[in-house]
Structure 1
Amino acid sequence: MNSITISFIFFTALVGLITWLMTRKDDHGSSDGYFLGGRSLTFPFIAGSLLLTNLSTEQLVGLNGAAFQHGLHVMVWEVFAVVTLVAMALFFLPKFLRSGIATVPQYLEVRFDRRTRTIVDMIFLVAYAVILLPIVLYSGAKGLSAMLDVQALTGIESETGVLWFMVILIGVIGSIYALFGGLRTVAVSDTLNGAGLLIGGFLIAYFGLSAVGDGEGMLAGWNKLTAESPERFNSLGAKKDNVPVATIFTGVMLLNLFYWCTNQQIIQRTFGASSLQEGQKGVLLTGGLKLLGPLYLVIPGMIAYHLYANGVMQDGKLVEVGNDDAYGMLVRDVLPQPLTGFFAAVMIGAILSSFNSALNSTCTLFSLGFYKNFFNKEASEAELVKSGKWFGLVIAISAMIIAPMLAGQDSLFGYLQKMNGIYFIPLLAVILVGMLTKRVPPLAAKVGLAVGFTVIPFGYFIPIGTKMADGESVSKFLSGDVLNDFHFLGVGFALVVLSMLIVTLVKPRDSDFIQEDVEAVDMTPWKHAKAVGAALCVLVLIIYGAFADFSALSKDHNIPPAPVPEANSTE
């Protein structure tokens, strides 16, 4: 057993032991205790859990892979998230906590009606069970298999066998945390792994920059990196780059708002805050930590481009390094072996966090949304928790069966992004309109959801050949060749809002909606929340300004494509 494996097992076991010691006396028998951590979460646990639930193999590997291919401007997914977290702390969170809810659909029942809640419960359940959970398991299994050399460790010869082994291992461990521990157990383990992830991420950036500096230190590496490829360090994407700067104010903003302000999987831990003050501090602390995100989610990809863009030598041949292979290769090459094992343990913590958070949210949505309302209206607290655990077990097993079947899929994450857009945008529109208006009726919410779930899939997937005046076809226009996909999501959002307002003009509510404070928690806001939120937004502008090259915006692309070596070329 090598040092990588030893350090991996040690750190994983240590997190499990500390989590058990800290949560063994918690209330796991009541619905508040199981689903919301007894509404006792303080800001460090909220921030740690928010941060790590967000991070998964897709983030670590995918965003660094995007930086490897496209350059610094992909940092928008980390840096702009800070702005939406400020919106969560100051606008969304007070409204959610005032209603004493455990799920986002519950808020829609308060604002609209039970049918709206049931529709949205079903949307979340299908999205998490069929799309999110299997992909988390699959991507996590693939990433860890390579890093830990599971084939050599277990003696399993086939890649398929290794994939099944890792999927089951991650699924079982994640299910234990989510099903037997509840939200507070998830939050504590997330916080511990989150601390390890930050340390490990910074170490990769440090050792990577030192490698670029050829032994002259991290600063020398940074200077060399920026001097040799200055065009790759522009924070502003051009028209045909991966994320054009204009899309920040349309689809990118909307996707971030949904993800950080209304996505049940992410924000459930904020519903468990002991007070509005603790919730706001936790969310804003997450925003501060997200400002550091590019250091471990973007810069390693930039370092990998410097080291591997021209290919690497394998068995005497020069071979190309794929975008999604770059990060794992960098970790193996620059980290000392004991630290590689430590980081692998942190990575499995990130994967488990995404899995068990989605599973815990799925249990919550089923128990409080369906079991309580349709199957057993007189259910006791113990019966509610039990129903959630059994449903979660079924979903976990289903996800473990589906995950290995994703092997061999092309553009898996591109497809996932489109699928997310289909339900992110309509739900965000309905929630925002509900929060910002007083006379929009329940019918408008249902019409808005119907419009969103028609327009966005239609634009994404239905081939249309009708010619426009300039000779372009509608299908090309909607596919992103003329209208960027992110702008198209903005159009879809506007159509949902417009449809809801039209229904309101025809048949408004009889009276103004007034949200009542159910006094679930202390609603006194944190006195520094607005000042800290403003400071975070200013820091976002400073970071963008520091790396902005506005002259590049007149070009189609900021950077030329990476050189592609011939697979059979030799040194």
Structure 2
Amino acid sequence: MTSQTIQIGVFLFVTILIGLLTYLHCRGKGDRKSNQNKEYFLAGGGLAWYFVAGSITLTNLSTDQLVGMNGNQMALLALWELSAVVGLIVLAKVFLPVYYRYECTTTTELLEMRYNNKHIRAIISLLFFLGSALIFCPAVIYSGSLFMKNMFNVEIPLMTIAAAFAIVGAMYAVFGGLRAVAVSDTYSGVLLLAMAILVVFLALNAIDYDFSGIPQERLTLIGDNDSPIPWHTLLTGMIFIQMFYWGTNQVITQRAMAAPNIGEAQKGVFAAAGIRLLIVPAIIVIPGIVSYKLYGDIGDAAYGTIVFDLLPDWLRGIFAAAMAAAVLTTFNSNLNSATALYVCDVHESYINDNPNVPVLSGFVTILITVLSLILVQVYAQAESIINLIQQLYGLLSMPILSVFILGLVFKNVHAHAGIFSVIFGVALYALLSFEGSPIHAPFGLHFIHLMFITLISCVSLSLLLNWLVYKQVPVFTLAALKGPEPS
């Protein structure tokens, strides 16, 4: 029996086992006829804290993280994960209590209640939808396919592997809803974290824990002006990036909003923060650094190559199954959340207020899946997949966050002022950050600084328009953090 046959056999066995365990756990649970939206998109409010923690962890931790961050082959990328702990704490202590008090199904539902305007909810939902469909879904399918191709060292075309991931992921999202997604996330997450930790120790052992010969700029956590994360960006845009991603992003918050109560949800988020602090930084940078010493600067191929070299045949199969599960769960999590945004915030508001949720969700899922496969070739041209994702998502993140900030800490802000500032913010960030623009990277500022400038500009413009155009004086208040105001 060849080593490749062993790997594939173990891979298929573990993959099928995860699917079977998920089916057995979810079988017979929920009643979609009584409340389709809550059951399909919030698992009927029945996720225990460990499923919340597991789903949040694995929704974020996938091949775009493991492959992309290790592909930078430097310790500095750990700062994304360390700062994410702050974002999770903000989610647990600030955003989640608000979402639960307002009984939201989507994060954007909060905007409709705060601005008393369904259009701002729909516009922000569409931006989130486009972020999942055009950025995260194709990126995770591409990076997962690249990893599998490198790890198994096969000649199968990248698009064939990508199509297999997309089809299976879409089936999870269509037939299981959030409950199946979250449960499979957790089972897969335990396996993935265990295997990723093993890879860290094997990598360190391969170089006898000796980092000599590796350039200092690849080992430091204090980035200079030319590094992917200059130290001073931690003082401006980084915290707001994390606040947006963990606090307002439907893909993440949907898991925490699916717990039976706020206490269970917060427990799950804090558990996810603990994993993020104690485990994730090591697994997303150490293998990449070691691969630099072993193979040189090989970019996004680093993680798949070192795993292929260090793991025995049967462990490669288990690790491949864990990585495949990570790809599938991140992909289907984005599918489920994007579908929730369209169904709840757009379709039910403007087209049909009582659709067949599973059927409509199936059509939307198929659309996103096809679009993701089309865009895989675009992401294959990227020099660094993780840096491209962060830069692209900047188009949406700060303009969207500005609307949430205004809605939560101000009263008497006109919805149209917020909508206009979002459109302005997307255009401004594109002009500031993309090459070819006449104002590209003014003064050589890093894109994280540019995100901070975009956020401040959006908030300021909204307040100015509110005062000059709509003749409304905004009132600073933290009342929204205490619950809905009486009608």
TM-score by length of 2: 0.91
Pair 1:483 & 2:470 matched: no
Give the Cα separation in 1 of the matches to 2:321 and 2:97: 36
User: Which residue, 311, 327, 334 being the options, matches 1:358?
Assistant: 334
Deviation string, structure 1 residues 211-268 (Cα, Å, up to 9, x no partner) = 111xxxxxxx2xx227976664322212322211110122222222211111111221
1:464 deviates by 5.5
Pair 1:493 & 2:455 matched: yes
Question: What number of residue pairs does the alignment pair up?
Answer: 473
Q: Residue 79 and residue 176 in structure 1: after superposition, are their counterparts in 2 closer, same or farther (change >3 A)?
A: same
Q: Residue 510 and residue 326 in structure 1: after superposition, are their counterparts in 2 closer, same or farther (change >3 A)?
A: closer
Give 1:448's aligned residue. Answer: 421
Moved more, 230-239 or 30-39: 230-239
Pair 1:502 & 2:454 matched: no
User: Which residue, 200, 203, 214 being the options, matches 1:205?
Assistant: 200
User: Which residue, 207, 231, 246 being the options, matches 1:245?
Assistant: 231
Give 1:131's aligned residue. Answer: 135
1:150 deviates by 3.9
Pair 1:330 & 2:303 matched: no
Give 1:235's aligned residue. Answer: 221
User: Which residue, 88, 92, 96 being the options, matches 1:89?
Assistant: 92
Pair 1:270 & 2:256 matched: yes
Counterpart contact for 1:41–1:273, Cα < 8 Å: yes
Show structure 1 runs of 5+ residues with no match.
157-161, 214-220, 310-320, 466-473, 519-571
1:398 deviates by 3.2
From the CA coordinates, give the structure whose radius of gyration is larger.
1
Give the Cα separation in 1 of the matches to 2:388 and 2:68: 14
User: Which residue, 371, 392, 409 being the options, matches 1:398?
Assistant: 371
1:81 deviates by 0.6
Give 1:42's aligned residue. Answer: 48
Counterpart contact for 1:439–1:513, Cα < 8 Å: no
Give 1:530's aligned residue. Answer: none
User: Which residue, 46, 60, 68 being the options, matches 1:54?
Assistant: 60
The one-letter code sitting in structure 1 at the alignment partner of 2:148 is L
Pair 1:99 & 2:72 matched: no
1:178 deviates by 0.7
**Structural mapping, 1:410-489, within 5 Å:** 413-461=386-434, 463=436, 474-475=439-440, 477-478=441-442, 482-489=444-451
Pair 1:116 & 2:120 matched: yes
The one-letter code sitting in structure 2 at the alignment partner of 1:457 is A
1:406 deviates by 4.8
Give the Cα separation in 2 of the matches to 1:56 and 1:499: 37
Give the Cα separation in 2 of the matches to 1:326 and 1:420: 24
| RMSD over aligned Cα atoms | 2.4
Moved more, 131-140 or 265-274: 131-140
Give the Cα separation in 2 of the matches to 1:39 and 1:338: 39
Give the Cα separation in 2 of the matches to 1:439 and 1:254: 24
Give 1:14's aligned residue. Answer: 17
Give the Cα separation in 2 of the matches to 1:230 and 1:394: 46
Give the Cα separation in 2 of the matches to 1:129 and 1:437: 31
Give the Cα separation in 2 of the matches to 1:73 and 1:351: 24
Q: Residue 487 and residue 75 in structure 1: after superposition, are their counterparts in 2 closer, same or farther (change >3 A)?
A: same
1:392 deviates by 1.5
Give the Cα separation in 2 of the matches to 1:464 and 1:13: 49
Which secondary structure does the structure 1 equivalent of 2:223 belong to?
A: coil
The one-letter code sitting in structure 2 at the alignment partner of 1:267 is T
Counterpart contact for 1:111–1:513, Cα < 8 Å: no
Counterpart contact for 2:174–2:358, Cα < 8 Å: no
Q: Residue 210 and residue 28 in structure 1: after superposition, are their counterparts in 2 closer, same or farther (change >3 A)?
A: farther
Counterpart contact for 1:368–1:384, Cα < 8 Å: no
1:283 deviates by 0.7
Show structure 2 runs of 5+ residues with no match.
none
Counterpart contact for 1:8–1:345, Cα < 8 Å: yes
Give the Cα separation in 1 of the matches to 2:214 and 2:483: 57
Give the Cα separation in 2 of the matches to 1:244 and 1:408: 25
Deviation string, structure 1 residues 517-536 (Cα, Å, up to 9, x no partner) = 58xxxxxxxxxxxxxxxxxx
Give the Cα separation in 2 of the matches to 1:464 and 1:94: 41
Give the Cα separation in 1 of the matches to 2:364 and 2:302: 38
Give 1:299's aligned residue. Answer: 286
Give the Cα separation in 1 of the matches to 2:142 and 2:121: 30
**Structural mapping, 1:158-173, within 5 Å:** 162-173=157-168
Give 2:266's aligned residue. Answer: 280
Give the Cα separation in 1 of the matches to 2:383 and 2:283: 26
Give 1:75's aligned residue. Answer: 78
Give the Cα separation in 2 of the matches to 1:510 and 1:328: 53
Pair 1:341 & 2:303 matched: no
Give the Cα separation in 2 of the matches to 1:82 and 1:45: 18
Q: Residue 416 and residue 72 in structure 1: after superposition, are their counterparts in 2 closer, same or farther (change >3 A)?
A: closer
Deviation string, structure 1 residues 420-459 (Cα, Å, up to 9, x no partner) = 1010110011112211222323233113212212211121
The one-letter code sitting in structure 2 at the alignment partner of 1:145 is K
Give 1:559's aligned residue. Answer: none
Give 1:374's aligned residue. Answer: 350
User: Which residue, 29, 34, 50 being the options, matches 1:26?
Assistant: 29
Give 1:192's aligned residue. Answer: 187
TM-score by length of 1: 0.78
**Structural mapping, 1:536-547, within 5 Å:** none
The one-letter code sitting in structure 2 at the alignment partner of 1:201 is A
Give 1:174's aligned residue. Answer: 169
Give the Cα separation in 2 of the matches to 1:409 and 1:210: 31
Give 2:150's aligned residue. Answer: 146
Which secondary structure does the structure 2 equivalent of 1:104 belong to?
A: coil
1:501 deviates by 2.1
Which secondary structure does the structure 1 equivalent of 2:222 belong to?
A: coil
